[in-house]
Amino acid sequence: MWIFVMFDLPVGTREQSRAATKFREFLLDEGFEMSQFSIYARFCSGKEQYETFVRHIGANLPDKGDVHILGFTDRQYENIIRFSGQARKRQRKNPSQLALF
């Protein structure tokens, strides 16, 4: 399962800009990767981990702005079509699962 966080945060004042930067850094610290400047994605091992991230993000929201959280299954994620410039990019593969013994 994949979790996408999309946001539109105000940056009109120095305080708002700091809050937006702090939120982006929080997402990176939580293991998210930047897909676009205001879109971050992370692989989750299941619905429970997804819900944990939703709660954790909710506890670290900036005071103003809009944040949207989307969940995608592995199959839906593999079917995302990506373009960079005028070239179509290859589909991303899901990360391999780690096996601990």
Residue 9 confidence (pLDDT) above 70: yes
More confident call, 84 vs 49: 49
Q: Which residues contact 21 (CB under 8 A, 6 or more apart)?
A: none
CA distance 98 to 85: 34
Residue in the structure block whose two tokens are 């179509």 = 88
- Whose structure tokens read 């400047």? 37
pTM: predicted TM-score of the whole model, two decimal places: 0.81
Q: What is the band of 22 on the pLDDT scale with cuts at 50, 70, 90?
A: very high
Average pLDDT score, the chain: 88
Q: How do residues 33-69 score in pLDDT, each as one tens digit?
A: 999 999 999 999 999 999 999 999 999 999 999 999 9
